């Protein structure tokens, strides 16, 4: 009996020490299809409701759309293998890093639009947080960690 109690205590200790970000996530059954649908939607289009005028540098649209679709592809692979918060957050970090060659050409509204699209992808899989990465990319810091 003591051996079982010790094993249970050890298991609980490991579970308590393990971040929730490492735990497998339950993603919606239709996540892959919704990510595929995201990829075919037009991006960076003029939007009169949100008063977004479209990309400041229109010739970047194919490249930026491709980068967003690459994040969706990364998420599809994660959904099909081992979905976990940390894995999705690593994919966000990788995706944001891919935008670095274009960052100087993006105005504030374009950067907000990139973050909005990434938030859409996160919502599809049920990821609640980017771990501060979207804020850091958008503002240069994570405002939730400022005193």
Mean pLDDT, range 96-105, rounded to an integer? 96
* pLDDT computed for residue 8 by the predictor: 32
Can you give the residue ranges of every domain in the chain? 23-145
Residue 64: which of 87, 96, 32, 93 has the closest Cα?
96
Structure tokens at 22: 């490492």
- 51: region left, alpha or beta (phi > 0 left; psi from -120 to 50 alpha): left
- The residue among 13 and 92 whose pLDDT is bigger is 92
Cα 62 to the chain's mean position, in Å? 20
pTM score of the predicted model: 0.82
* pLDDT computed for residue 24 by the predictor: 86
Fold that domain 23-145 belongs to in CATH: hypothetical protein mp506/mpn330, domain 1 (1.20.1480)
* pLDDT, tens only, 24-37: 899 999 999 999 99
* pLDDT computed for residue 3 by the predictor: 44
* pLDDT computed for residue 146 by the predictor: 65
pLDDT at 22 over 90: no
């Amino acid at each position: 009996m003591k051996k079982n109690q010790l094993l249970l205590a050890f298991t609980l200790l490991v579970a308590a020490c393990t971040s929730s970000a490492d735990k497998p996530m339950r993603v919606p059954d239709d996540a892959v299809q919704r990510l595929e649908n995201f990829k075919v939607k037009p991006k960076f289009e003029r939007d009169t409701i949100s008063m977004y005028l479209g990309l400041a540098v229109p010739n970047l649209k194919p490249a930026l759309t491709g980068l967003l679709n690459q994040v969706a592809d990364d998420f599809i692979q994660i959904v099909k293998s081992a979905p976990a918060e940390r894995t999705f957050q690593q994919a966000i970090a990788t995706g944001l890093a891919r935008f670095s060659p274009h960052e100087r050409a993006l105005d504030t509204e374009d950067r907000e639009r990139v973050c909005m699209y990434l938030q859409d992808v996160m919502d599809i899989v049920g990821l609640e947080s980017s771990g501060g990465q979207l804020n850091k990319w958008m503002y240069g810091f994570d405002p939730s960690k400022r005193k």
